[in-house]
Amino acid sequence: STISVSACGVYAWYGQTYTTSGIYSNTNSNCFTEILDLTITPSSTNTTTIVSPSSFTWGNTGITYTSSGFYMGSTVNCVTQYLDLTINSSGISEEEMVSFSLYPNPVSEALTIDFNGLSKEEYSIIDNFGLIVKRGVLENISTEISVSELSAGLYYFKIEGTKPRKFSKIN
């Protein structure tokens, strides 16, 4: 009989370890021969690096992490996902940080940002996977940002400038 197997990186069969694709055979004690048609796909990894203010829910697993660490997610098509997470624990006081408020929250069309910045501040909107989906510059103390093109979900709003950064969740 013939069996066909696809494996990531390595496959063990009847005490033998295989790392290359090929046709292999094994004859057991009853003189029965089995054929293995083996396809090996090289394993690889993909690491996502995230800095978050207090916790992070990883879309790959749906798990919320509250401490820094290196986490393993799922393996799909022989690619294992890893998360290199740093929870921002800089010890910077709130007075030293850029202060802002955003409303309405939840939002569907336009988000208004009021902040205490004295100069232009860069902002970014980050999705739950840690990807920047929108960025720009806040030029006024009060700025309206269109978010109608974003899918419904949880996002993080981040301001960076000469002062340390600060995050806020957007629904």
**CATH of the domain spanning 94-170:** 2.60.40.3080
Q: What is the pLDDT of residues 97-115, one digit of tens each?
A: 556 778 887 888 898 888 7
Query: Torsions phi, psi of 108, nearest 5?
Result: -125, -30
Q: Kindly report whether the global pTM for this prediction surpasses the value 0.95.
A: no
For residue 103, the one-letter residue type is Y
> 121 vs 33, 103, 132, 136, CA distance in Å?
71, 18, 16, 9
Q: What is the pLDDT of residue 94?
A: 44
Residues of the chain with CATH 2.60.40.3080: 94-170
Q: What is the pLDDT of residues 56-105, one digit of tens each?
A: 888 767 888 888 888 888 888 888 888 878 776 554 444 445 567 788 87
Q: 127 falls in which pLDDT band (50, 70, 90)?
A: confident
